[in-house]
Structure 1
Amino acid sequence: MKLFPSNANSLLQVKTRYQLLATIIVNIITFGHGVGVGWLSPTLAKIQTPDQTPLAFQVGIDEISWLGSMLGLGSLCGNLTIALLLERMGRKFCLYLMAGPYACLWILIYFASNVGYLYAARFLCGFTGGAGYVVVPIFISEIADSKIRGSLTSMLMLSVNFGILVGYVMSTYLAYHLIPFLAILLPIAYFLANLLLPETAPYLLKRNNVTSADKSYQYYSNVQPAQTYSYKADFEELCIAIAKQQVLNNTALTWRDLVTKPALKAFAAATVLCLGYQFSGTFSFINYMSTIFAASGSVWDVNTCTIIIGVVQIVGVYTSTILVDIIGRRILMLISTLGLGLGCIAFGCFTYFAQRQDLTAFNWLPLVLMVLIIYLGNIGLIGLFFVVLVELFPVKIRSLATSISVVFLSVLVFCTLKLFPLLMHYAGISITMWFSAAASLVTFVYFLFYLPETKGKSMVQD
């Protein structure tokens, strides 16, 4: 959505301040989702230990794998729900919808009397994330100037990672039953703050609500009296683009639209993107970070290491936020996937040899390697996942294709989070890391030859 023809891509421009404000508001819920994800890792160590568990029950390896994978099932349901409602009810309705399930997950955690409560809470955490990963990038892409769209959209993962860090810290240092009281403030603040935001102009134009679209456009453009002429010209340009898109969409979306050459190329890239994201192990590492450090032989406190990794995630995504609209998406993805592959190979080699000879002089190495792995993962594959995913598809199929891709991602999340602790337990950490390395390097090769650069791509016309 092109609001002002300017070479500046600063997020702090006066003319884009309400785009930044809206991005911050809608990402309150993604921050909360991150808190829910990060909460699990240190908590697992407590509820497996008889003298540390704050609950009336303990969990074993099977329950752990289900606790992890329920996030994927919830995400799948969130994806499907939003896919059905996004075009029918609008972006704002879908944004509001996420507050309820997120509040309920902390109520379940507080009152947990058996592991089923925790399963349900993780399911709702996944539902919130799955819904947010569809609607938030689309909402931001429709309000953002094309020159800062990448930076604003990448704030989704920055918010998630901030939340994960807070979740790590809270579950490490705060009492189990105190955390829900603090976390439930987030959906309340999120719901109230969303009252400030109008629906996106492109969606309103699709519904032939020109008056409201005009007001929305002025709000997100922060139009000043002296800019009336420029604003009118830009708004007319948007109206024309949407009208052309509507003419194209007058013919009902059919399966043939999904098998055009541009659509198939986009689906292929999205499939590899999803497979690389999950089988590189980066999301599994985040969920089971304390377990990984315990298995690596590191002498550092595992929860301290986990918190350090939480900080590194934020630095990595912040790096991608700064660079994405300067050097583009593709080169960051290539650096990320290659670095992940090499880092996982090195981590696997260290743990392999550490089991066979004395490497206590190098017991700091697992933390250093994991810092590199997580940083490189977050500058591209994690931090830019949703930026690239939304921008890959042609306009006509973008909403449906994005939803299909995120549904596929959710299935992969379920599979990888279910299998990762079992693979760690039965095959060992070295083989697990080498498997992740292979997936990362295959993804790198595909991206090298086939991933298009989408920097500056229009969101309302192909």
Structure 2
Amino acid sequence: MDGDSAYQQLLREERQKHHNNRFPPTSYMDTHSDQVSAFVSKKLPQFLAAGVATLGALGLGTVLGYTSPALPDIKNSTTFSHLVESQHSWIGSIAPIGACVSGPVAGFLVDAFGRKKCMLFVAPLFILGWLLIAFAEYIEMIFAGRFITGFCGGTFSLAAPVYISETAESSIRGTLGSSLQLMINCGVLVTYVVGYFLEWNWLALVCASIPAGFFVGMIFMPESPRYLMSKKDKVGASNALKWLRGASQHQQVKDELNTLQASIEECEVPEFKAMFSKSIMKPLGISLALMFFQQWNGNNAIVFYTVDIFNDAGSTLDPKIATIIVGCVQVVASVVAAILMDKAGRRVLLLLSGALMTAALCVLGGFFYMKEEDPSVIEYLGWLPLLCLMVFIVAFSLGFGPIAWLLAGEILPPNVKGRASALATSFNWLNTFVVTKVFDNIKMGLGIEWCFWIFGIAAFLGDIFVILFVPETKGKTLDEIQMNFKSKTDQHDVGRGHGCTAQL
């Protein structure tokens, strides 16, 4: 019996061991659950801060998307039915002028008053711009409103990426940075959907609610720890880091705070001659080039005039419905880009983006060329413009859309980030203005097919530039990214206490 009992005990132990291998003990599951909960609680404040900041990007998206559904309504309204075509084009293109002007102003504000206060300053002005459009009785009021909303949207396009890059950890910086483009696309989609149901003036009132919501939410968010430390506010920087990292004690963020302080102490704002050093000019040149290619692939021209493009294509689908479909695809693609950003890497997504945009734009140009030669092509290829625009939007949202802004926040040296970001932002919006303004001129002078072929050539050249010059920044700290741009002499100087490395 004793032998049988021992055998039975051994058998029960083996069965229990096998069961535990298949179904982990509750204590293990609880431990794993606790780890997940701890991770979420640690990262959640950073996602929340980025989410509120990107409400400004949502507002920018409404500025970009507004004219597509609103301009046809304005043309048909009794108040503005007398407008000529040149005035219509100014309604679309004057917003980028405001955004271009915002660059130097925003660059000064983010350095002088902080990233958070800069965005809070412009939110009421943003609301005012939309109200001018909503209650416009004269075309000058619409022009003024478009200029002001463009100015405010441009300010957010500079301040929000800087704020996010300085509050997010490197492991999620790419995901949070790419959320800017996601929110811009969501803003565009909002105007497409609401514009389908509401007239242009009521649409402007809906758009005004977004900066109002941002203003309320941003009041409760912390300032950038790096900015606070640069202003010698160590207590404020510590409190901001504790909130952002989900920490309860100063000791939990002490190492990061000390690294941040050391980085700032090493930073020196360079003299004018030093601005032309390789460590500054190379990342600035890359940022400016990416801004150029981002705009000359024609994205904003397409967003501004999507309804008109479908009208020109003679599509049998309601142009406003087709526009909403394009907007939905754009948002979904932005979500995918946010997921892939810290997995696939920046260069891979840029190259894929450029290749797909080139193909889509060339085919779309070919469609319009064939339509001009034989209008009956619409009968069997009427679906092609929608397909090409969907491919183009997906490609743009995966790469050049978010990454041009993300890389600007990553590669620009922190000691000149305000000035360099201002220059990059103004350059971006200057090109936006030129592209949207000349779109109609090219269409009238050469034909709409050449609009898309020119954009396709720019997309192809953008890929060549990425292959030759753009570095991969996935998974690297801002400190490591900056060291890649420094010459051996610069790195030697850093070792002696000069120059700047960036651990944000």
TM-score by length of 2: 0.84
Matched, 1:395 2:414: yes
Instruction: Please name the residue that 1:4 is paired with.
Output: none
Counterpart-to-counterpart distance in 2, 1:221 and 1:434: 48
How far has the Cα of 1:324 moved from its partner? 0.7
How far has the Cα of 1:414 moved from its partner? 1.5
Counterpart-to-counterpart distance in 1, 2:180 and 2:145: 22
Higher alpha-carbon deviation: 142-151 or 291-300? 291-300
Counterpart-to-counterpart distance in 1, 2:227 and 2:80: 49
Counterpart-to-counterpart distance in 2, 1:420 and 1:257: 39
Does the 8 A contact of 1:32 with 1:163 survive in 2? yes
- Measured against aligned partners, the alpha-carbon deviations of 1:388-436 in whole angstroms (never above 9, x if no partner) come to 1222223322222121111111211121111112222332211111000
Instruction: Please name the residue that 1:14 is paired with.
Output: 41
Aligned with 2:452 (options 396, 412, 433): 433
Shift in CA distance, 211/224, structure 1 to aligned 2, threshold 3 Å: closer
Instruction: Please name the residue that 2:112 is paired with.
Output: 88
How far has the Cα of 1:259 moved from its partner? 1.2
Counterpart-to-counterpart distance in 2, 1:271 and 1:186: 29
Aligned with 1:340 (options 357, 360, 365): 357
Matched, 1:349 2:366: yes
Letter in 1 for 2:401: I
Matched, 1:30 2:57: yes
Instruction: Please name the residue that 1:123 is paired with.
Output: 147
Aligned with 1:284 (options 266, 279, 301): 301
How far has the Cα of 1:224 moved from its partner? 4.1
Counterpart-to-counterpart distance in 2, 1:122 and 1:88: 27
Counterpart-to-counterpart distance in 1, 2:47 and 2:140: 39
3-state DSSP of counterpart to 1:404: helix
Counterpart-to-counterpart distance in 2, 1:80 and 1:453: 28
Counterpart-to-counterpart distance in 1, 2:207 and 2:385: 31
Does the 8 A contact of 2:294 with 2:400 survive in 1? yes
Shift in CA distance, 389/428, structure 1 to aligned 2, threshold 3 Å: same
Does the 8 A contact of 1:48 with 1:60 survive in 2? no
Does the 8 A contact of 2:133 with 2:146 survive in 1? no
Instruction: Please name the residue that 1:219 is paired with.
Output: 243
Counterpart-to-counterpart distance in 1, 2:366 and 2:225: 53
The 5-angstrom pairing of residues 111-150 of structure 1 reads 111-150=135-174
- Measured against aligned partners, the alpha-carbon deviations of 1:26-61 in whole angstroms (never above 9, x if no partner) come to 122221221232121111112223xxx263444332
Shift in CA distance, 196/54, structure 1 to aligned 2, threshold 3 Å: farther
Shift in CA distance, 371/389, structure 1 to aligned 2, threshold 3 Å: same
3-state DSSP of counterpart to 2:478: coil
Higher alpha-carbon deviation: 57-66 or 141-150? 57-66
Aligned with 1:315 (options 322, 328, 332): 332
Matched, 1:419 2:438: yes
- Measured against aligned partners, the alpha-carbon deviations of 1:291-341 in whole angstroms (never above 9, x if no partner) come to 111112322111111111111111121111111111111110111111111
Does the 8 A contact of 1:340 with 1:437 survive in 2? yes
Shift in CA distance, 17/211, structure 1 to aligned 2, threshold 3 Å: same
- Measured against aligned partners, the alpha-carbon deviations of 1:69-122 in whole angstroms (never above 9, x if no partner) come to 211111022212111221111112101012122101221112211221111111
Aligned with 1:154 (options 178, 189, 200): 178
Higher alpha-carbon deviation: 334-343 or 256-265? 256-265
Does the 8 A contact of 1:57 with 1:114 survive in 2? no
**Residue segments in structure 2 that go unaligned for 5+ positions in a row:** 1-34, 480-500
Does the 8 A contact of 1:348 with 1:433 survive in 2? yes
Counterpart-to-counterpart distance in 2, 1:56 and 1:394: 48
How far has the Cα of 1:284 moved from its partner? 1.0
Aligned with 1:273 (options 287, 290, 293): 290
Counterpart-to-counterpart distance in 2, 1:200 and 1:67: 36
Does the 8 A contact of 2:292 with 2:427 survive in 1? no
Letter in 1 for 2:72: A
Counterpart-to-counterpart distance in 2, 1:338 and 1:10: 41
Shift in CA distance, 57/396, structure 1 to aligned 2, threshold 3 Å: same
How far has the Cα of 1:229 moved from its partner? 4.6
Structure with greater Cα Rg: 2
Counterpart-to-counterpart distance in 2, 1:455 and 1:147: 9
The 5-angstrom pairing of residues 128-277 of structure 1 reads 128-224=152-248, 229-245=251-267, 249=268, 252-277=269-294
Counterpart-to-counterpart distance in 2, 1:412 and 1:276: 9
Q: CA RMSD in A?
A: 2.0
Higher alpha-carbon deviation: 439-448 or 182-191? 182-191
Does the 8 A contact of 1:10 with 1:148 survive in 2? no
Counterpart-to-counterpart distance in 2, 1:240 and 1:280: 41
Letter in 2 for 1:324: M
3-state DSSP of counterpart to 2:400: coil
Letter in 2 for 1:372: V
Does the 8 A contact of 1:65 with 1:422 survive in 2? no
Higher alpha-carbon deviation: 202-211 or 72-81? 72-81
Instruction: Please name the residue that 1:5 is paired with.
Output: none
Does the 8 A contact of 2:60 with 2:184 survive in 1? yes
- More helix as a share of residues: 2
Does the 8 A contact of 1:11 with 1:20 survive in 2? no
Counterpart-to-counterpart distance in 2, 1:69 and 1:376: 24
Counterpart-to-counterpart distance in 1, 2:214 and 2:307: 30
Does the 8 A contact of 2:64 with 2:300 survive in 1? no
Counterpart-to-counterpart distance in 1, 2:411 and 2:118: 22
Letter in 2 for 1:305: A
Instruction: Please name the residue that 2:389 is paired with.
Output: 370
Higher relative contact order (CA 8 A, sep 6+): 1
Shift in CA distance, 75/11, structure 1 to aligned 2, threshold 3 Å: farther
How far has the Cα of 1:256 moved from its partner? 2.5
Counterpart-to-counterpart distance in 2, 1:58 and 1:337: 41
**Residue segments in structure 1 that go unaligned for 5+ positions in a row:** 1-7
Counterpart-to-counterpart distance in 1, 2:462 and 2:247: 43
Instruction: Please name the residue that 2:343 is paired with.
Output: 326
Give the count of matched residue pairs: 445
